[in-house]
Amino acid sequence: MIAVTATGIFGALGVAALATVVPALWRWTQLFSTFVHETGHAVVALLSGRLVTAVEIFFNGGGCTTSYGAPGPLLIPVTAAGYAAPPLIGLALVAALVNGASVSTLLLIALLPVVAILVLSRNLGAVLVVGTVIAALAILIHRAGPISQTIAVLIAAWFLLLAGLRDNIELVRVINQGRGDDASALSELTALPAEVWVGAFVAVAALCIYQAGRWLFG
């Protein structure tokens, strides 16, 4: 079971909620959500046999992952992985905590793909954001105690869950403005309307939040 009290769980939720809804904070914290979004694209692209050559994060909250490979149905999960990644990773972190996983081991495992993304980073935004994540992980691994590590992972998990929902809801505005986005790209790949993909992303994020709450408060 998780090694913090209900107060700690609620406190982590409160911090994550502030980071997600307060505009002055979201201006910067959304870059972490973008990092996870682009990591989702990169990891699934690599798993599908594509060559990932660049990851970029922009200070307006956008991002871009460039990969090369044969066209085909495998592009669908690669494209869908971005918006699905934050809530699914948030839920996975909660699952690991409630099932008694070693938090220090979780942090060490997290460090591996983050370093890989740093190698693939091709602009200043990506280097700064990924470098900040690496520095935070290093501090937690070498300086923080088990309780502090657990609370930090809880905050990250809650943030990814809430930010994932916010990003997916905001995707409605993006597709209405006709800007290039993952949902529109998926529509071209599958012939399903972009709105269907947005609805699926929102549903996944909401279900992840619901399940995380059941595990932590049930």
Q: What string of pLDDT tens digits covers the 218 residues of the chain?
A: 566 788 999 999 999 999 999 999 999 999 999 999 999 999 999 999 999 999 999 999 999 999 999 888 999 999 999 999 999 999 999 999 999 999 999 999 999 999 999 999 999 999 999 999 999 999 999 999 999 999 999 999 999 999 999 999 998 887 766 556 899 999 999 989 999 999 999 999 999 999 999 999 87
Inter-helix orientation angle 23-47/6-21, to 10°: 100
SS3 of residue 1 by DSSP: coil
- Which residue matches tokens 């904070």? 25
- Which residue matches tokens 């149905």? 73
- Under 8 Å between Cβ of 155 and 108: no
Helix (H) or strand (E) run with residue 213 in it? helix 194-217
SS3 of residue 51 by DSSP: strand
Determine the Cα–Cα distance for residues 49 and 45; give it in Å rounded to an integer. 6
